[in-house]
Structure 1
């Protein structure tokens, strides 16, 4: 897992089992800390590519404030969800998005 576990100045609390949630990414069960965004949970699990452009170029974490659309993913069948500002929750289904995403009506 890619997280800061020790810091020379900040106190980082030990994670307890009740502080974790499990979610699905592309068919793989991953764990995250309660309060994580989808983006921080993916990065902590070693996943840097969140989707692809219409031309096949990889997209991922960029602005971290929900403005750039580089982190768009599909969550529970809903496209165009900004991974950088959306909290991860127990049981959510996350998939990489290709292109702009099409609403499923």
Structure 2
């Protein structure tokens, strides 16, 4: 490894911090998530790149900035609207609504 920002694989922040896995519901189907993953990470691992439409023109929206600034990734988690998928960590039993968007075509 070279460079000041490279980490050994076991310290990689993109990987789940814990190996514990549990079930969550995404768009009506039960899927496996890992402790430490964000909602966006779970959706992206399923191949979902968009999960809502913009208000005016109906354009697909999903993860954009990934740091909670833009609000493009908002969705409904456990009945609460406006949750930023990039900031919220998944918890066992979460129900994530994709509003019918983002399915593979």
The TM-score range, normalised by the shorter chain, is: 0.7 to 0.9
> 1:10 & 1:49 partners in 2: Cα distance?
31
Indicate which of 79, 88, 91 corresponds to 1:89. Answer: 91
Question: What is the TM-score of this pair, normalised by structure 2?
Answer: 0.74
Q: CA RMSD in A?
A: 2.6
Query: 1:39 offset after TM fit, Å?
Result: 0.2
> 1:81 & 1:93 partners in 2: Cα distance?
12
Indicate which of 68, 89, 98 corresponds to 2:70. Answer: 68
Find runs of 4+ consecutive structure 1 residues off by over 6 angstroms: none
Query: 1:90 offset after TM fit, Å?
Result: 0.8
Indicate which of 61, 66, 74 corresponds to 1:59. Answer: 61
Aligned positions, number: 90
| Structure 1 contact 74–96 (Cα < 8 Å) conserved | yes
